[in-house]
Structures are given as C-alpha cells and as structure tokens.
Amino acid sequence: MTNEEDEKRIKHMEFVQAVIARMASNSFQIKGWSVTIVTALFALTGVTTKPIFILIALLPALSFWGLDAYYLRQERLFRKLYKNLQLSFENKVDINKTVKPFSLSTKDYQSEVIWFKVLRSPTILVFHGVIIGAILFFFLIYTA
C-alpha cells in the first residue's frame, strides 16, 4: 500500500470522526433544549395556574427523546463505519462491507443499529425518563 493511499484512508477516517463529533454535539444540544422548553412550560403553568401546560410539556419531552435517539443511532452507525475503515486499514475488512473511498454511507449497518433499541439505551432512557417522570409527578402534585 502506498503512502498516498494511507493518507486518503486517514483523511476518510477524519471525515467520519467529524460526523461522529457533530452527532454527539447535536445530542447534547437536544438535551439542553428539552430541559429549557419543559422548564419554560412549568413556569408558564405557575403564571397561568393552568395545569394543562404541564401535560403539554410531554409533547416536546417525548419528541426530544425520539430525536435524541435518532442522533445517537446516527452516531453509532458512523462508529461502525469508522471501525470498518480501521479494519480495512489493517487489511482485516469484512468482504461484505467494503467501504468506497470517501463514502459516508452507513446503509450496510442499518440492520445492526435499531432505533427502538437505541430509544431504550440507558444514557437516553435515564435522562428523558427523569424529565417525563418529573412532568407526570408535577402534574399529579399540581392537580391534587
């Protein structure tokens, strides 16, 4: 393998790493937005004294949970692509999953990373579960 081919593979791996970092950043931002919007709806409930705003907070909380799972799934798909690139660099690649130069396609890994399983991932389940649990708890307290 030539030095030029090695440089191309390294550059390809850097591209994939950049995508992985962007997906992790998106996930972090979604968590922040989730907390911000739910808190704002709680505050609105305190001002208007209408408990319906607490229940309305469930909609963005559930939406952000699904969106966070989507980005975590994308991150895991790209991690699989990165791992395959690493193996190809070491000439141990799976013949069924050869990666074209500079391709960012993750279609070969779609069946390995299922969105519903990612939705129940401990990192996501704990964070968003606590938010949804808090919404339901405060609704019960507020209406009692």
Mean pLDDT of 31-48: 90
Residue 62 sits at the vertex; the CA angle it makes with 142 and 125, to the nearest 5 degrees, is 100
Average pLDDT taken over every residue of the chain:
87
Residue 75, token pair as written in the block: 């991150």
Any idea where the domains of the chain sit in the sequence? Answer: 3-143
In the predicted structure, residue 25 carries a pLDDT above the cut 90: yes
List, for residues 47-75, the tens digit of each pLDDT value: 887 888 888 999 999 999 999 999 999 99
Would you state the pLDDT for residue 97? Answer: 58
Under a CB-based contact definition with an 8 Å cutoff, are residues 72 and 27 in contact?
A: yes
